[in-house]
Structure 1
């Protein structure tokens, strides 16, 4: 039985993904990383391959995926990095991947995502950020449940964000059909959903020895910010500089940003641990208000909301298929 004590580690916000897997042996393990062609996704996949896992990159852009796989193969010395097409905005694509998968899956990293997008909808008509960040990944994870259950103590990693603080799950208007669309609120709701998924997946799948945890990777400049205006990007960069100068915050490289994902995927310190939210390779403290980007809000770990969101998500998928 996993300890209820808050999980700590010898790592911190400067640790890289490769440093996390130093001494870790994933030989014989299989991992799937969504959004594995760029940003923290490619560094997550690289570290898992470096530790001996057979890694599959699930990506929307096949050419970018092939280039990333070649790069990971070159740096890790492995020749079995695979690429699978995946468009999280279309259930048909998600279902094609899950139906084609065969054999056990030891590690699933739900890393891909969109942020602060203009209003848009998925192929199923769902608001894009909740549709891609949560519902697409929910369909993927539940579709791969049998493969996860077939592995020995499989782990699911859900990349959330401090953005979760912006919004709980608004169950009576998930898709902004009755309120003005706000990109930040939509992103926040989707990141809360990522954390709640980890809470309920751990509860529902305990009998299969599957655990799931959520995380905040840190502040990293990646393609995730591509929907920001030049003015918003400049303001964010200035805010980051001021926070760093005051010692409150430190921007991370993609290699550092991937560290907590890799920690949750591989570390013996979280063996059997699930349903929690981590940052900087340690469990975050539950707070009523974030301290900058640090901490986790109670609504992102609420077991009743987690159960309700799972039920609603199942209903949405069933209605869409």
Structure 2
């Protein structure tokens, strides 16, 4: 695991000490010369620390009135501000940050010292697999979790397991019914979220997915992989938009398989969901993950002024989860490669990183892999095709559910299409 403070250029020379002010600024003191300065003596850069203490720490006073920090779990005490362990350099640009973690990092390591108390997160597909590890990791650090799943019995069992394994409060874990194969269910779920989470949502993680299904259609007469993985998540996100505030993070869990997606121009113009005659289960999955990256980019631009951050990511290659349960051959293959792939905790790390890392507080429109951003495929970065897919998606939703909550985006697509034709 990489640590942002472990690079040799950050090491302090002899005599220098790093200290902090109560309002989150870092300064440096030379005990030999009594020199005090705001910039790092080696790098020349300013540093800041979180305003809140790391998770599990409290601040008190000793008998002489001096500030003392206590770690509640162990009772250990120190006069050194524990926030200094999480000091970061001030950024010249929002994407100016170093890689702190890698493919071996776990979600628990990403969340070290982070206090999510008072935060509200909704996660789809989280009663097992990567989604479960994501929910467990966030709940362990005090986050209020709304687990949106179809199987309510499995969700209640998952809640009990999380409470048992993390000592999270059961009051912080709630369930809500969501069947992504039904756009009507998506609409009902969205309308119910406010009754659970009042008027705002800090984190939305769109994690649920199916893989390797034979051709089937949902009640909305759409191919199942396309609707469950992509279209229903898009609809849910647009319905929940009124709950987004400055700092809300929307996380689209995509996949590196998006690089193997294949679109024909005529295919896009007619229908972005595969028909029975053209269906390939693997290509349906690849395309659905491509769409998620494209739409995340579009929404990141649409909501930039609102300071809502929208990013997408790849959790890991061939991670063994219920995703492969649709066919025995997939189960066998995933079992064979299991020793060489990420654990569920490692697979959840990038999702948790994108949802919580302080250095990403203003970062939007990027694609992440192994807890760091990387370029998506060339096709995923094609803005014209992305807007075409967005427009067709909105029409598919409108034809089935009406234009509530999506009308302004339909109008924007019309304006953009009109402008493109006149150029």
TM-score bucket of the superposed structures, by smaller chain: 0.7 to 0.9
Contact 1:27 / 1:53 at 8 angstroms: preserved in 2? yes
- Equivalence map 1:87-126=2 (5 Å): 87-102=179-194, 103-126=199-222
Q: CA deviation at 1:7?
A: 5.5
Say which structure is richer in strand: 2
2:102 maps to which residue?
A: 12
- Equivalence map 1:278-297=2 (5 Å): 278-284=368-374, 286=375, 296-297=376-377
Match of 2:124 among 34, 40, 45: 34
1:79 maps to which residue?
A: 170
2:238 maps to which residue?
A: 142
Contact 2:94 / 2:360 at 8 angstroms: preserved in 1? no
1:208 maps to which residue?
A: 306
Structure 1 residues 222 and 93 mapped into 2: Cα distance closer, same or farther (>3 Å)?
A: same
Bigger radius of gyration? 2
Give me the whole-angstrom Cα distance separating, in 1, the residues matched to 2:271 and 2:132. 34
Match of 1:187 among 272, 281, 285: 285
Q: CA deviation at 1:71?
A: 1.6
Contact 1:29 / 1:53 at 8 angstroms: preserved in 2? yes
2:253 maps to which residue?
A: 159
Matched, 1:223 2:322: yes
Aligned residue-pair number: 300
Match of 1:304 among 384, 392, 397: 384
Give me the whole-angstrom Cα distance separating, in 2, the residues matched to 1:59 and 1:306. 28
Contact 2:120 / 2:201 at 8 angstroms: preserved in 1? yes
Q: CA deviation at 1:72?
A: 1.7
Secondary structure, counterpart of 1:145 in structure 2? helix
Contact 2:350 / 2:369 at 8 angstroms: preserved in 1? yes
Structure 1 residues 76 and 164 mapped into 2: Cα distance closer, same or farther (>3 Å)?
A: farther
Give me the whole-angstrom Cα distance separating, in 2, the residues matched to 1:134 and 1:235. 25
Q: Provide runs of 4+ in structure 1 moved above 3 Å.
A: 1-8, 232-238
- 1:173-211 CA-to-partner distances (Å, cap 9, x unmatched) read 422237421111111100001111210110111122111
Give me the whole-angstrom Cα distance separating, in 1, the residues matched to 2:276 and 2:325. 27
- 1:1-60 CA-to-partner distances (Å, cap 9, x unmatched) read 993757642111111111111111212110000001000001111111122211010001
Give me the whole-angstrom Cα distance separating, in 2, the residues matched to 1:76 and 1:97. 28
Contact 1:213 / 1:274 at 8 angstroms: preserved in 2? yes
Give me the whole-angstrom Cα distance separating, in 1, the residues matched to 2:191 and 2:254. 26
Give me the whole-angstrom Cα distance separating, in 2, the residues matched to 1:163 and 1:2. 33
2:149 maps to which residue?
A: 59
Give me the whole-angstrom Cα distance separating, in 1, the residues matched to 2:237 and 2:202. 12
Contact 1:31 / 1:107 at 8 angstroms: preserved in 2? yes
Give me the whole-angstrom Cα distance separating, in 2, the residues matched to 1:134 and 1:7. 30
Give me the whole-angstrom Cα distance separating, in 2, the residues matched to 1:82 and 1:175. 33
* Structure 2: gaps (5+ residues): 1-90, 402-423
CA RMSD across the alignment: 2.0
Structure 1 residues 280 and 28 mapped into 2: Cα distance closer, same or farther (>3 Å)?
A: same
Contact 1:120 / 1:127 at 8 angstroms: preserved in 2? yes
TM-score scaled by length of structure 1: 0.88
Structure 1 residues 29 and 89 mapped into 2: Cα distance closer, same or farther (>3 Å)?
A: same
Give me the whole-angstrom Cα distance separating, in 1, the residues matched to 2:381 and 2:368. 12
Q: CA deviation at 1:123?
A: 1.5
Say which structure is richer in helix: 1
